[in-house]
Amino acid sequence: MSLLKERDVPPRVSFALEQSGVHPLLARLLAARGVRTADELDDSLARLLPPLSMKGAAEAGRLLADAIAQRRRICIVADYDCDGATACAVALRGLALLGADPATLGYVVPDRAVHGYGLTPAIVDLALARRPELLVTVDNGIASHAGVAHARALGLQVLVTDHHLPAVSEGVVTLPDADVIVNPNQPGCAFESKSIAGVGVMFYVLLATRAELRARSAFATTEQPRLDSLLDLVALGTVADVVRLDANNRRLVAQGLKRVRSGRMQAGLAALFRAAGRDAARAAGFDFGFALGPRINAAGRLADMTLGIECLLTDDATRATELAAQLDAINRERREVEAGMRELAERTLEGLAPAADTAPAALTLFDESFHEGVVGIVAGRVKDRLHRPTFVFARGADGQLKGSGRSIAGFHLRDALDLVAKRHPGLLLRFGGHAMAAGCTLANVDEGGGVALFDEALRRVAGEWLDAATLTRTLRTDGPLALEWFNTQTVALLDAQVWGQGFEPPLFCDEVQVLQQRLVGEKHMKLRLRHCGQERDAIWFGHAEPLPAQARLAFRLSLDEWNGRQRVQMVVEACQG
């Protein structure tokens, strides 16, 4: 069960938005999500935050402009998730658009199992095979002190572009000794969008580089490059990384979606849409987050992220189709691995926490059979089911215990790891991340005994920080949906908007009578409901338990297409019986 709480809607704001021409239902939904004026809905490129307001962007622009002019060899150091892959593709495509000789551009991406995360000394040595003169990190590097020092000692220049939180030592933020750092979360940066993804940071660095080249009259005889051609990649990485969709991020995603819907996308994205069976002409943020993103991420989890990056880099439609098919196959394998881990985790949890209200304040799971590439996904599934901060550990190829965690509102996971590290010196070899997602590597404390000590330490922090209210899953809803809005036009209206983390898609709530219910596919509940005097079809994915005859349901709207006909369907998210 979940606690359903209706969002507050400022009536004056909602009325003002409606008077400005916003659809009445949409005006109510937007007002409840903090939109105050119709100007905030302007998603034009001109409304993006200025590039030079990001600390280090101007210096990065000069560094890259010099490198382009001098034909210096540039190597992009990527990350092995979708944000890192799209950021790498944006960097390489963008630098080529700005005049860099493609022969001077290259990239390396760590193998999750072999190299670990970030610009490590080992990755610097790997990059040396490309004889680089400048290393550019994307979606990593802000905590890579040793790697940056190693690169600088070898005579390389280093530009760090990242969005993660920097390391903190004894209460003081520490930054690597790079030539230039561009990160909105570094001290002294006035850039308003602190939640921008790594791919967004790299896009802004390219905007600053273009401005520097323009100031040098580099485009006096040629047309200025159109960097907006990269926004489909920016949108994909932004949504897939589940960063908060503030106004600036929503504009980036909206612009990317417009390009995709009009068919103006990279060959790799078009191939991924086909492989996923999704219609690019009706693309939504959901497609990026649950169809394309997982296929790119699967390469970094179970294989080699080079496959994902190459799919995003190629302009050959046939090659893109081949790579997308490989990524689709790897994603199916990832699902099988994840399903096995989830089944084992479920059996472990049966004795530990048969229900959410009996679960400890934080959970830690480990089994020797777990795959390190899927621990984050499984942690997220367990967290969603039991509403508890959850860490899942697996033994890496190097023998070390590597964990990935997912959290709930009110429990800053990276700060919790920092406290665990302070209370138990030597337990964590390294850690990092955000409020809602983080990772760490344990020291080999009596082999698996380190997990038990970590579990005890994390539970202690959770017990101190979390109370009963925070540990109760609360879903914020948009209240009842008037009968006049139950139609295909409303679904199309809502699907056309940009929703996501921090700007959640509409979730309505109302009383219903359950007329029929049956299990389909062994794990989904198909429902026939009476709602406001009318019978409606509904489905609850991933839910097998019967519903009471009368219930209060939280639901979304979707279109159910069958034999060429479209019907509005309620997709149930929660029940209060």
Residue-wise pLDDT for 3-35, tens only, equals 899 999 999 999 999 999 999 999 999 999 999
Which pLDDT belongs to residue 161? Answer: 98
Binned at pLDDT 50, 70 and 90, residue 353 comes out as: low
Q: Which two tokens stand for residue 559?
A: 């279109």
**51 falls within a domain:** yes
Residue among 560, 365, 323, 350 at smallest CA distance from 451: 365
3-state secondary structure of 298: helix
Give the length of the chain.
Answer: 577
**480 falls within a domain:** yes
- Name the strand (E) or helix (H) holding 296: helix 293-302
* Model-wide pTM > 0.75: yes
Cβ atoms within 10 Å, residue 457: 21
Among 465, 493, 514, the domain boundary falls at 465
Residue-wise pLDDT for 288-339, tens only, equals 999 999 999 999 988 899 999 999 999 999 999 999 999 999 999 999 999 9
What backbone phi and psi angles, to 5 degrees, belong to 529? -120, 155
- Residue 361's domain comprises 353-465
**9 falls within a domain:** no
Among 281, 298, 330, the domain boundary falls at 330
Contact indicator for 334, 302 with CB cutoff of 8 Å:
yes
Q: Mark whether 460 and 492 lie in a shared domain.
A: no
Contact indicator for 382, 415 with CB cutoff of 8 Å:
no
The DSSP 8-state label assigned to residue 118 in this structure reads S
**75 falls within a domain:** yes
CA angle 233-237-242, nearest 5°?
155
- Name the strand (E) or helix (H) holding 174: strand 172-174
Count of domains forming the chain: 3
Which pLDDT belongs to residue 446? Answer: 56
CATH code of residue 201:
3.90.1640.30
Q: Which residue has the tokens 């406001």?
A: 532
3-state secondary structure of 334: helix
| pLDDT > 70: percent of the chain | 98
Contact indicator for 85, 312 with CB cutoff of 8 Å:
yes
Residue-wise pLDDT for 392-417, tens only, equals 999 988 888 999 999 998 999 999 99
Cβ atoms within 10 Å, residue 478: 21
Handedness of CA 258, 262, 263, 264 (dihedral sign): negative
Q: How far is CA 30 from CA 18, 195, 504, 557, in A?
A: 10, 20, 10, 17
**Does residue 564 register a pLDDT over 90?**
no
Task: Average the pLDDT over 359-386 and give the result.
Answer: 92
**7 falls within a domain:** no
Q: Mark whether 481 and 452 lie in a shared domain.
A: no
Which pLDDT belongs to residue 200? Answer: 98
